[in-house]
A and B are shown apart, each in its own frame.
Chain A
C-alpha cells in the first residue's frame, strides 16, 4: 500500500479551515482561560470566525476558475482535497447562507438579558436535574461556554456536508455536524429533563440513521467500485452489473439524508427535538441543518445518481407528498408554538423536495423559469430567515416558567405587544407563502420548476397542502390578535438585548426584501450555476 501525501488547496478551502480552526481555538480557550472570563472571548472569537469565513467564502466565490469535469460538463469551480471537497457555485452559495445563519446562531446563543444575566444554556450540564449540584450551579450563575466551539464545529460540518465530493467525506461531515448538535440540544437551562430527553432521542435516532447511510455507502461502493461522486456517476452511466445493489444503496443513502432534513416517514424526531432543545439551538439547527442537508442531498442525487434519475424520482415524489401532508395535517392539531413550527418545517421539507424533483438543466427551461437547484437554493434562503426569526421571537415570549410556548399563553399577544406579534405574524405569513413575502417567491420558484418537469400531481398536492398550512398559520395569527388573553396569565414579551432583537430585525428585513425585491438574490442563485461533476 502506497501512501500519497495529500495536496490541499488551502486558498479555496479557507472558509472551512477558518471555522474548524476557530473551533479548535475555542476548545483551547475552554482549557486555559478561567471559567468566569471565557464568555466574552468565546463570543468574539465565534463571531470573528464566522464573519471571517464569510468574507473568505465571498473571496473564494469571486475567484473560482473554470473547470471541466470528467463527463465533459463545464462550470466554475474546483474539485479539491484529492477529490473529497468540491468548491463550486452552489457550494459557495450554501456556505454563505450557512455562515449567515450561523451568525444569527451566535447572536442568539450570546443573549443573556432574557434569563436575567445568564445564557439559555445550563450552568452545569453534568449536574442531575433537581440536585444540589444544579442549584449550586444556578446560584453561582455558571455558564457553559463550550456551546460556542460546539456551534463552530457544527458549522464546520455543515460547510463540509454539501461540499463533499465522495461518500466518506459526506459521512464524516454528517457526523461532524450532528454530534455537536446532539450535545447542544441537551443543554437547556430550563426544563432540563425535556431537553436531555430530546438530546437522547436525537442522538439515538441520528446514530440509527447514520447506520443506514453508511450501509448504503457500502452497497454503492460494491456497485461502482468507487466512493467518489464522479466515479459513481461514471459507473451509473456505463450501466454496471448488479443494479439491485445500486438501488438499495440509493435508498439507504437517501434514508440517512432524509432523516437529517426531517422528511416523512423519518420526521418523528423533529417535534420532540425542536421542542426540547434550547430555542436558540432550535433556531440555528432548523435553518442550518436544513440548508446543509439539502445541499448534500442535491449533490448526491444530481451528481452521483444523476443518471439514475428515473429510479429515484418516484421515491422522492412519494416522500415529498408524505412530508407535506403529514407536516401540514399534524401542525393543525398542535398546541405548542415550537411543535407547530417543527411540523411546519416538516411540511417545508416536503415543499423543498418538490423543488428537488424539478427540471435540472437550464437548457430545458424557458426564460424566467428557474432550475430546481436555483428554486431550492432560493427557498432555503427564505425559509432559513423566517425560521430563525420566528424561533428568535419564541425566545422573547415568556412567563414565570421561562419561555411560554403553549398556545394559550400567546393569546392576545397582539394587544400587549403589537410589534413583536406583528413580526411573528409576518414570519408565519412568509412561511405560508402569502404574496409580498419571501415565502411566496420561494414556493413559486420550486413549484414552477417541478411543474415544468412534469411533476404536476406533486405540485397539485403541494398547492393543496399550502392551503391547509395557511389555516394553522392564520389560526395562530388570529390567536395573537383576536383572542382574549388567557385568564391564568398570558406570556409577555421580555426585553432582549440587541443580539436577539437585531437578529429578528435582520430576518424581518430579509424576508420582506426577498418578497418585494427578490431579483438580486434570484440573480445570485442563477449565477451560482450548476454543480460541477
Chain B
C-alpha cells in the first residue's frame, strides 16, 4: 500500500515513478542466492585448482543453470503480484558506514531486473553449455568456466543492486571478468593487447560513473535508487544534467558507444562464447540498463537526454558502417553489436516512450546476437578457427544446423516480420520518428545498412562459391554446441511475442513510467512498410554486389575511401591515438626525462657522493690501534678546546 501511494504521489509531481520497494518475503528471500551460486562456483573453481579440472565445467554450468531456475521461479512469483507490489528489496548487510555515507548491500528485484535476470542466467546457461563443447580441448577449460561464473555473478550484482555503489561493484566485476576473458588466450600478444585496451578504455567510462556517483552522493546524500528517485525532483536541472552526462560516459565505456567504442572490435580476440555472452548479449548492454535504471535522473535532465540521443545515433551508424567492410566474421558481428546497442541507447534516450522498447530490443538482441555469435563460433570450429569470411562460402550444405539457426538470427536482426528484431527495432524507429525526424531517418538508414552488411555476411559465409583453405573439411559441430544454437534460434524467431498485447510495455511501466500516446507523423502501418522497404533495399544491394559477383580470396586494395575508412573502424584508433595516446605518451616522455635528469640525478648523484664519502672515511678505519687512539685524542682535544673557547 505504502509503495502504491508513493508511486501515485510521485507520478503527479514528476511523472517519474519512485523506487519504493517492499521487503522481501516468501520465495523472494532467496534473491541473494541468484548471485551467490555462480560466485560460489567461481570460488570453488579458482581456489580448488587442478583438482576440479575434471568436473569444473559441469559445476560452472550447474550453478549458472540453478540461478536461471531460481530466476524463473521468482519471475513467476512476480507475475502473480499486483502491479504496485512488484518492487522488492532485500537488505543483506550494512556495507559501508562512514559519516553521512551509509551504503547497504541491498538488492532490488523489480520488473526491469527480473527481465535482465532471465536474459543473463538464461543466455548465460546456454553459453555455458555451448562452451563445454567449444572449449573441450583447451587445457585451461576449468579456469574459463570459473571466469564465466565470475562474470555471471558480477553481472547479476550489477543488475540486482539497489544502490549505485553496489552497481559499481558489479560494474567493475564484469570489467574484470571481461578483461580476464578477452585475454584468456594470453599466449597471443594480440589477445593480451586487446584485453589491456578494453580495460583502459573502460577505466575512462568507469571514471565517469564514479564521478556521477560522487556527485549524486554530494547532491542527495545517498546512493540508493529509492533515495535518489525520491529526491531527484528537488535538484537543479544543471546538476542533473551533469549527473546524466557523467552516467552516459560510464555507459559509453561499457557499451562501446562513440567515443569510447574502440575496444569492442579488438575484444573479439577472446574465445567466441565470451564474445557471445559478454560482448554481445549481456555486459555491453549494461550501459542501456544504467540509463534506463537512472530514468529518474534523465527524465529531469533534458540536455543529458539529448546527448544520449546524439551519441546513440552516431554509434548506430558508426557500427553499421564498420560492419559493412569487415571480413572477419566476429568483427563484423561486433560492429553490428555496436550499432544495435546504439538503437537501444536511442530508445533509452528518447525517454518514457522509448525505455520499454530499448529493453525489448536489448532482450531480442540478446537472443539473436548470441545465436549468431555462437553460430560464427560453430563456423570457425568447422573452418579450423579461420575467421576470414573470404575463406568461407557455400557452407550451408556442410553446416546445416548452424546455417538454419544463423539464418533465423539473420532474419531477426535485419527486422523481417515476424521475427523478434522486427518488432523491437521497428518500435524504436517509430518512436524516434515521432520525437525527432532527423534522428528517425538516421535510424531508418541504419536499418537499411544492417540489411546490407548482414546479407553480405550471410552470402559470404553460407552461399557463393567455396573459397576454403586447403585441407579444411567443414563438419557440423557436436550437439552440445548446436542445441544452444537451436534454443536461441527459436527465441530469435519467437521473441517478438513479448510485445503481444503490449505486454512488455505494461510490464515495465511501474519502473519506467507510462507514456502518453503520441501520434507518429505518418500512420504506423505506413512507417512499417517503409522500414521493411529500406531493409529490403539493403538486402538487395548486398545480393547484387556480393551475391552476383565473385568474392576475391584476399581483400582488394584498390577500394574507395569510404571502404578504407570503414575497414579502419572509421579511424577510431587513429582518433584515440591523435587525441589521447600520443599527447599522453609525449607527456610521459617529458616527465620521464625530467625524472631521469632531475630526480634521478639528485638521488644517484647523492648516492655517489655518499658512497665516495664512505670510501674516504673507510680509509680512516685502517685497523691500527694507534690511529684510533690518535683519533680519540684529537677528538677530545678539539672537543675540550671548542667547549672552552665557545663558552668564554
Which A208-267 residues have a C-beta within 8 angstroms of B? Answer: 208-209, 212, 243-244, 247-248, 250-252, 254-255, 259, 264-266
Q: Does B634 contact A (CB under 8 A)?
A: yes
Residues of B within 8 A of A272 (CB): 621, 623
Contact of A204 among B613, B621, B629, B647 (CB under 8 A): B629
Tell me whether B617 is interfacial, beta carbon within 8 Å.
yes
Q: Are A265 and B635 in contact (CB under 8 A)?
A: yes
Interface core residue of B610, B636, B644, B647 (most chain A CB under 10 Å):
B636
Alpha-carbon gap, A208 to B626, bound state (A): 11
> Per-residue CB proximity of B594-635 to A under 8 Å, as 1/0?
000000000000010011011101101101010111011111
Given A255-B635, A265-B634, A268-B628, are A330 and B643 neighbors across the interface (CB < 8 Å)? no
Number of interface residues of A (CB under 8 A): 36
- Which residues from chain B contact A463 at a C-beta distance below 8 Å? none
Query: A215 — nearest CB in chain B belongs to which residue?
Result: B636
The residue from B613, B631, B632, B633 contacting A329, defined by CB atoms under 8 A apart = B613
Contacts of A248 in B (CB 8 A): 640, 643-644
Alpha-carbon distance between A247 and B620 when the two chains are bound, in angstroms: 29
Whether B98 sits at the interface, judged by CB under 8 Å, is: no
Q: How far is A471 from B644 in the complex, measured between Cα atoms in Å?
A: 38
Q: Is the CB of B648 within 8 A of A329?
A: no
With CB as the reference atom, state the residue of chain A lying closest to B635: A265
CA distance A208 to B643 in the complex (A): 21
In Å, the complex CA distance between A330 and B634 comes to: 20
Segment of A2-10, A159-167, A311-319 engaged in the interface with chain B: A311-319
Q: Which residue of B lies closest to A207 (CB)?
A: B629
Q: Which of A269, A315, A319, A329 contacts B617 (CB 8 A)?
A: A329
Shortest Cβ distance from residue B506 to the other chain A in the assembled complex, whole angstroms: 61
| A252/B617 in contact, CB under 8 A | no
Contacts of B623 in A (CB 8 A): 272
Neighbouring B residues of A251 by C-beta, 8 Å: 636, 639-640, 643-644
- Bound CA span A447–B198, Å: 50
Q: Is the interface of A mostly helix, strand, loop or mixed?
A: helix
Roughly how many angstroms separate A254 CA and B646 CA in the complex, as a whole number? 17
Least distance between B628 CB and chain A CB atoms (Å): 4
A231–B632 alpha-carbon span in the complex (Å): 29
Known pairs A266-B635, A330-B614, A333-B618; A205 contacts B629 (CB<8 A) = yes
Neighbouring A residues of B629 by C-beta, 8 Å: 204-205, 208
Q: In the complex, what residue of chain B is closest to A244 when comparing beta carbons?
A: B644
Q: A251-B636, A266-B632 are in contact. Are A312 and B643 (CB under 8 A)?
A: yes
Interface residues in A87-109 (C-beta closer than 8 Å to B): none
Contact across chains for B647 and A311 when beta carbons are under 8 A apart: yes
Give how many A-B residue pairs fall within 8 Å (CB-CB).
88
Given A329-B614, A330-B618 in contact, is the A259-B639 Cβ separation under 8 Å? Answer: no
A411-449 with Cβ < 8 A to chain B? none
Residue in B610, B613, B621, B635 whose beta carbon sits within 8 Å of that of A271 in the complex: B621
Q: Mark B235-258, 1 if CB is under 8 A from A, else 0.
A: 000000000000000000000000
Contact partners of A209 in chain B: CB under 8 A: 632
A268 to B636, CA, bound (A): 14
Closest to A319 in B: B639
Are A268 and B618 closer than 8 Å at their CB atoms? no
Q: How far does the alpha carbon of A480 sit from the alpha carbon of B144 in the complex, in Å? A: 38
Cβ–Cβ contact A201 & B644, under 8 A: no
- With contacts A255-B639, A330-B614 taken as known, whether A471 is within 8 angstroms of B607 at the C-beta atoms is yes
Q: Is the CB of A247 within 8 A of B635?
A: no
- Expressed in whole angstroms, the minimum distance between the Cβ of A264 and any Cβ of chain B is 8
Residues of chain A lying within 8 A (CB to CB) of residue B636:
212, 251-252, 255, 266
Residue of B nearest to A467 (CB): B606
A162-215 contacts to B (CB < 8 Å): 200-201, 204-205, 208-209, 212
Across-interface contacts of A266 in B (CB, < 8 A):
631-632, 635-636
Chain B residues lying within 8 Å of A212, measured Cβ to Cβ, are: 632, 636
Q: Which residue of B lies closest to A216 (CB)?
A: B640
Interfacial chain B residues near A269, Cβ < 8 Å: 628
Does any Cβ of A come within 8 Å of B642's Cβ?
yes
The distance in angstroms between the C-alpha atoms of A200 and B620, with both chains bound, is 19
B646 neighbours in A (Cβ, 8 Å): 311, 314
Please measure, in the bound complex, the distance between the C-alpha atom of A264 and the C-alpha atom of B639, giving whole angstroms: 11
A306 to B623 alpha-carbon distance, docked (Å): 37
- Bound Cα distance A251, B638 (Å): 10
Q: Chain B contacts of A311 at CB under 8 A?
A: 643, 646-647
A213 to B180, CA, bound (A): 72
In the complex the two chains form, is A205's CB within 8 Å of B628's CB?
A: yes
Q: Which residue of B lies closest to A208 (CB)?
A: B629
**Chain B residue with Cβ nearest A219:** B640
Known contacts A254-B639, A268-B621, A243 near B648 by CB under 8 Å: yes
Is B632 a contact of A201 with CB atoms below 8 Å? no
A315–B615 Cα distance when bound, in Å, is: 26
A468 within 8 A of partner (CB): yes
Determine if A59 is an interface residue (Cβ-Cβ < 8 Å).
Answer: no
Supply 16 A–B pairs (Cβ within 8 Å), ascending by A: A201-B628, A248-B644, A251-B640, A255-B635, A268-B631, A268-B632, A271-B621, A311-B647, A312-B643, A329-B610, A329-B617, A330-B621, A332-B610, A332-B611, A468-B610, A471-B607
Apart from A252-B636, A268-B628, A329-B614, what 8 extra A-B contacts exist at CB < 8 Å? A212-B632, A251-B636, A259-B632, A265-B632, A265-B635, A266-B635, A315-B643, A329-B613
The 3 closest A-B pairs by CB, nearest first: A251-B640, A265-B635, A333-B614
